[in-house]
């Protein structure tokens, strides 16, 4: 019998870091992935960015399995968003920023959404946009340009989750491009 075809996935954990509220060491996270049968798990930075391979048939089970594993092993309730490498490629291609890294990559961000909103509440989103900021919505992503830094914007992850009614997690453009590079390597 032939083994199931595999797909490369990118897994984004919401609110995970090395210290602070929900600390998880990346070597322990990779070990958890291995225990769950996710192959070749690699992490990027210390904030819950994973790339791994898994059988195509397991796609819908990956996020819940990682969430359960984190809860059991680390005691944290963490939202997990899973994208196939091709889906991440589409997020990058749809984005208004281009694919080349640039000096402004820390101020260009993508908020990844667990699901595409049935309706984009653009008026509510625009009402929080500050002077100089740019906002673009497409698919399961909100693209932001925050020239004064993400720490100063009102278009926060929590605000977007509340307005859009779904789990979300935000990454800067440099991280997004690096995760795509890792997934396509």
How confident is the model over 44-66, as a mean pLDDT?
89
How confident is the model over 57-64, as a mean pLDDT?
87
Q: Which residues are CB-contacts of 65 (< 8 A; sequence separation ≥ 6)?
A: 36
> pLDDT (tens digit, 9 = 90+) per residue, 25-45?
889 999 999 999 999 999 998
Q: Which residues are CB-contacts of 75 (< 8 A; sequence separation ≥ 6)?
A: none
On the question of a common fold for 6-87 and 94-173, the answer reads: yes
**In the chain, where are the structural domains located?**
6-87, 94-173
CATH code given to domain 94-173: 3.30.70
The CATH number of 6-87, from 3.40.50.300, 3.30.70.1280, 3.30.300.20, 2.40.50.140, is 3.30.70.1280
Give long-range contacts, CB 8 A cutoff, 24+ apart: 149-152: 149/106, 149/107, 150/106, 150/107, 150/109
Q: Give the whole-angstrom CA distance, residue 23 versus residue 16.
A: 6
> pLDDT (tens digit, 9 = 90+) per residue, 65-121?
999 999 999 998 999 999 999 999 999 999 998 777 777 888 999 999 999 998 999
């Amino acid at each position: 019998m032939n083994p199931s075809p595999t797909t490369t996935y990118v897994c984004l954990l919401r609110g995970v870091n090395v210290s602070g509220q929900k600390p998880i060491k990346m070597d322990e996270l990779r070990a958890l992935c291995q225990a769950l049968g996710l192959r070749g798990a690699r992490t990027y930075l210390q904030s819950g960015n994973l790339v791994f391979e898994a059988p195509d048939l397991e796609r819908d089970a990956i996020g819940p399995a990682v969430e359960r594993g984190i809860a059991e092993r680390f005691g944290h309730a963490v939202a997990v968003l899973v994208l196939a490498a091709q889906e991440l490629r589409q997020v990058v291609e749809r984005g208004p920023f281009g694919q080349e890294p640039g000096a402004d990559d820390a101020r260009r961000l993508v908020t990844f959404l667990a699901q595409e909103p049935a309706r984009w509440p653009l008026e509510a989103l625009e009402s929080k946009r500050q002077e100089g900021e740019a906002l673009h919505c497409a698919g399961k992503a909100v693209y932001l340009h925050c020239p004064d830094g993400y720490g100063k914007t009102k278009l926060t992850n929590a605000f977007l989750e509340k307005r859009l009614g779904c789990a979300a997690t935000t990454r800067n453009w440099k991280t997004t491009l690096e995760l795509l590079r890792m997934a396509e390597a």
